[in-house]
Amino acid sequence: MVAVNLGEAVLLGVTEGLTEFLPVSSTGHLTVVEKLLGLRLDDPGVTAFTAIVQLGPILAVLIFFRHDIVALASAWLGGLRDATRRDSQYRLAWAVILGTVPIGVVGFLGRDVVGAARNLWVVAAALIGWSLVMVVAERYGRQTRTEGEIRYRDAVVIGLVQCVALIPGVSRSGATISAGLLRGLDRVSATRFSFFLSIPAMLAAGAFEAASEGSAVARTVGWAATGLGTLVAFAVGYAAIAWLLRLVARHSITVFVPYRIALGVLIAVALAVGLITP
């Protein structure tokens, strides 16, 4: 019997769209909401839904950055054909490719471990723990280099750190933006690179789960609810992109730290007193 109605699907879609690109962990928030809705976090269909609904915000990224993506693709193809055309856009395209490799390998090989990590104690600890990393990144990151100065070594390091975000509660954007700051990128450049890195990783994860766990999704969540949730996540996620870019142009990512810590503490206290189970 399908366990998610359309109203709940809208709630899950809004949760995903609001939190996917903010450094607060969309997977952590979805884990909390799914638990409150009574869904089994270890059910393959629920795990697959969590990956599939992320396709909505990624479609939003593809549309929002369509001109940048076309420019990167053109520069990359042109550079492959003619070495004289290898400019900063060509190097940035390669940086996105290199930065995607670690999450592709770790995400595929460790997918069973990642599923097992969907535990609210893990979410609470990660929300609090990674907040400290964000503070360090803002305090010690030089922020002197721009998007056009991203080196291949930067891409590999940021890509490796992105793997840490497979732990619910860390936040993929929080991990990659922090890594970019610590590599000396300015905040807007680190954020834009984080968006570009999200495209191949999340497209692959969503497509893989849809193909491999389609029957489980149909049984546990339902494809109507999954489709609606993904559509809502797209609409909300599109608005969140523009808002985040404006915010990081003027403010530190540490503005999210009090919220992360408060939520982590709230979850831990609720678990400790038995209001919710892990």
**What φ, ψ does residue 246 adopt, rounded to 5°?**
-65, -40
Interatomic CA distance for residues 223 and 218, integer angstroms: 5
Question: Which residues neighbour 14 within 8 Å (Cβ) at sequence distance 6 or greater?
Answer: 232, 233, 236
Interatomic CA distance for residues 266 and 278, integer angstroms: 13
Which of the four pLDDT bands, split at 50, 70 and 90, describes residue 115?
A: low
Residue 49 lies in a domain: yes
Residue found under tokens 């109605």: 5
Question: What is residue 216's predicted lDDT score, i.e. its pLDDT?
Answer: 85
Interatomic CA distance for residues 157 and 118, integer angstroms: 25
Residue 1 lies in a domain: no
Which of the four pLDDT bands, split at 50, 70 and 90, describes residue 2?
A: low
Interatomic CA distance for residues 136 and 147, integer angstroms: 21
Question: Which residues neighbour 168 within 8 Å (Cβ) at sequence distance 6 or greater?
Answer: 25, 27, 28, 31, 117, 118, 119, 122, 123, 126
**CB-facing half-sphere around the CA of 41: CA atoms within 13 A:** 23
% pLDDT > 70, the chain = 97
Question: What is residue 219's predicted lDDT score, i.e. its pLDDT?
Answer: 86
% pLDDT > 90, the chain = 65
Nearest Cα to Cα of residue 8 among 44, 29, 38, 28: 38
Residue 217 lies in a domain: yes
Residue 193 lies in a domain: yes
Q: What is the pLDDT of residues 173-220, one digit of tens each?
A: 999 999 999 999 999 999 999 999 989 888 888 888 888 888 888 888
Question: What is residue 261's predicted lDDT score, i.e. its pLDDT?
Answer: 97
Q: How many helices (H) does the chain have, and how many strands (E)?
A: 14, 0
Residue 278 lies in a domain: no
Residue 277 lies in a domain: no
- Which of 39-43, 154-158, 272-276 tops mean pLDDT? 154-158
Boundaries of domain holding 106: 6-272
**Average pLDDT of 108-119?**
72
Question: What is residue 114's predicted lDDT score, i.e. its pLDDT?
Answer: 67
Interatomic CA distance for residues 72 and 152, integer angstroms: 15
Q: What is the pLDDT of residues 124-162, one digit of tens each?
A: 999 999 999 999 999 999 999 999 999 999 999 999 999
- State whether residue 185 is helix, strand or coil: strand
Residue 226 lies in a domain: yes
| Predicted model pTM | 0.91
Do residues 181 and 133 make contact, with C-beta atoms less than 8 angstroms apart?
A: no
**Average pLDDT of 27-52?**
87
Question: What is residue 146's predicted lDDT score, i.e. its pLDDT?
Answer: 93
Paired tokens of 102:
């670690």
Domain count, the chain: 1
Interatomic CA distance for residues 158 and 185, integer angstroms: 11
Which of the four pLDDT bands, split at 50, 70 and 90, describes residue 270?
A: very high
Which of the four pLDDT bands, split at 50, 70 and 90, describes residue 109?
A: confident
Residue 164 lies in a domain: yes
Average pLDDT, the chain: 91
